Amino acid sequence: MAGRIPQRDIEQIKQRISIADVVGEYVQLKSSGVGSLKGLCPFHDEKSPSFNVRGDQGFYHCFGCGEGGDVYKFLQKMENITFYEAVEKCAAKISYQITYESGGRDDGVNRARLLAANEAAAKFFSEQLNSTEAQEARNFLSARNFDKSSAEHFGVGYAPKSWTALSDHLKAQGFTEEELIKVDLLVAKEGKRYDKFRGRLIWPIRDATNSVVGFGARKIYEDDPLAKYINTSETPVYHKSQVLYGLDLAKKEIVQNRQVVVVEGYTDVMACHLAGIKTAVATCGTAFGDDHIRKINQLFGSSDQAASVIFTFDPDAAGQKAAMRAFESSAKFIATTFVATGPEGLDPCDLRIKQGDQAVVQMIQDRRPIYEFALDQKISGHDLTSYPGRLAAATAAVSVLARLSDLGAREQYVRILAAKVQLSADEINRLLSQELTKQRSQAVQASRRGDYEPVAPEQVDEQPEFPTPNLNDPNTRFEQEVLAVLLQLPSAWKQEQLHQVCGELFATVSFSVIAQAIKSATEGNPESSWIDRVLANSPEPLHSMIRAFAVKPLPVTSADQAKDYAEGVISSALKKILVRNRAAMISALALIDKESYPDQHSKVQRDLVALEEKIRALS
């Protein structure tokens, strides 16, 4: 039962505390005239500052969303706490002793008491790291090049194996079991009560104001049946979606350097800071989300100076998935986003162990724009040795380019993608135009349904195995003509030409499969008809389409005209392949450093000249 806080104390605290200092712990503020400060609103997403603080009058107001109030209301909204908890938090900041009156409130939560319990627990864990029992924990740290001073700097500690060591210690200091349960240090289950953290290495998690709000714990004993990492659950003072481990240590450097390095774990944060990358932070057992983005944007503030957010991810599937989630949210930052990957896929901690501090620094310096990283993710897995594979890679990757609102940057990435998949920039722009048209159409349809939220990728229905070809695309229409000639006039083709066209020309999925069936049919049973051989080598869903091409009218009226028409289609198809190959060769040439690789550069130039001769011969 907490006593009532007298009104005189509430007023005294509000008069003595600086609202600018309190807000400044969450929002980077800049002078905006006499007695006024301005920054990005923490209550709604914005990129131009509309949030104002009047320190002399003790209030804030946002002209963007209309939020406003005094220092107590600000803390209530930012920390999701009650009015009385906000008063107590302010009192603690200025060391004001509240004189509680009897007969007051009973909301069941005293935030100051819970934070004090956490602080006492952190001190206990830190002291226990020097105990005899904690040798295995010290070995863990030593194996990762973390010495005693490093552990002290980050407050790393050890939770004894005893079921009640922590709770006994805290109860002796006056904390109740109910308070320890509320802060998730004590577990009440099936009539029993025991310490949550036992026999583990412990990291205290502090908020931006340096208060211990929770803990992360790492398994160090083989017989520990729980997960590798366990964390404090949601409590009145700990909300994992709003917390970044290391922010208390990194905050000042982030503001000064306008850089945040987002790593995956506690030891990675330690490794980065010790290597000199003091802007490193990590999420606490959850994905990087909108609340984290908003917190970082507030630190960057409204300055015109460039800012950067650098993500590091593990090379495994989970890490790659997290990287693509970060890409999806990258436009929400008021900063340029990058991805840094260590050599051989090493994370910062392992990289520091194997190669030292400078390797960690170099890893961050070698960062790549997240859009370029996302392009590589989309391209990976495609066969870039064939035209259909390159086109499929480009088709997947243009969804990344479509997200770029900066047209200059988009043009640059069109050239980068063209070089990566060895296609012309014109072809990439054509695919990009189709992607933008498709997205606009989907947006219109969604708005008509009242469905304004984008559908998550995993919720999208799988595409049919053979999607309907886009007949408005001139390339698709040309491929139709080529298939009709291949099916109706196979004798007009030399086998070498047929194999080349079937292997390199077709971009439309269903057409490419039919082309492969045609190629296989040349080696089939000659006693069967040509069309039967093609049908025998193709999937049943395409049989109707094959038959349609086999009877498609050609623009001829005689056998001689048919022969001339077939030769013209053959020539156009071969020329199209050669022109595409020329574009790919030009892109490849641009990537070769002439000074470093003169022989390779000369060879590609010779091949390019020979290719030009073949194109002229067909013309």
More confident residue, 409 or 303: 409
Assign 544 a pLDDT band (cuts: 50, 70, 90).
Answer: confident
Residues 235-245 have pLDDT tens digits of 988 988 888 99
Question: What's the fold here for domain 111-236?
Answer: DNA primase DNAg catalytic core, N-terminal domain (3.90.980)
Spatial distance between the Cα atoms of 420 and 347, rounded to a whole number of angstroms: 26
Residues 61-109 have pLDDT tens digits of 888 888 888 899 998 888 767 788 788 888 888 888 888 776 554 445 5
> pLDDT at residue 259 above 90?
yes
Contacts (Cβ under 8 Å, ≥6 apart) of 128: 134, 157, 158, 159, 160, 165
Spatial distance between the Cα atoms of 182 and 168, rounded to a whole number of angstroms: 16
Query: Mean pLDDT over residues 137-159, rounded?
Result: 96
Spatial distance between the Cα atoms of 556 and 579, rounded to a whole number of angstroms: 27
Query: Mean pLDDT over residues 260-287, rounded?
Result: 93
Which position has the token pair 């086998």? 495
Each residue of 458-479: b (16+ CB within 10 Å) or e? eeeeeeeebeebeeeeebeeeb
Question: What's the fold here for domain 244-374?
Answer: Dna Topoisomerase Vi A Subunit; Chain: A, domain 2 (3.40.1360)
Residues 381-392 have pLDDT tens digits of 888 888 888 889
More confident residue, 66 or 229: 229
Spatial distance between the Cα atoms of 366 and 359, rounded to a whole number of angstroms: 10
Residues 570-584 have pLDDT tens digits of 888 888 888 877 877
Q: Class of 7-93 per CATH?
A: alpha beta
> pLDDT at residue 3 above 70?
no
Average pLDDT of the chain to the nearest whole number: 84
Residue whose C-alpha is closest to residue 196's, from 235, 232, 157? 232
More confident residue, 304 or 353: 353
> pLDDT at residue 521 above 80?
yes
Q: What is the pLDDT of residue 315?
A: 64
Query: Mean pLDDT over residues 264-292, rounded?
Result: 91
Residues 396-424 have pLDDT tens digits of 988 888 877 667 778 888 888 998 898 88
> pLDDT at residue 247 above 50?
yes
pTM of the model: 0.64
Q: What is the pLDDT of residue 146?
A: 97
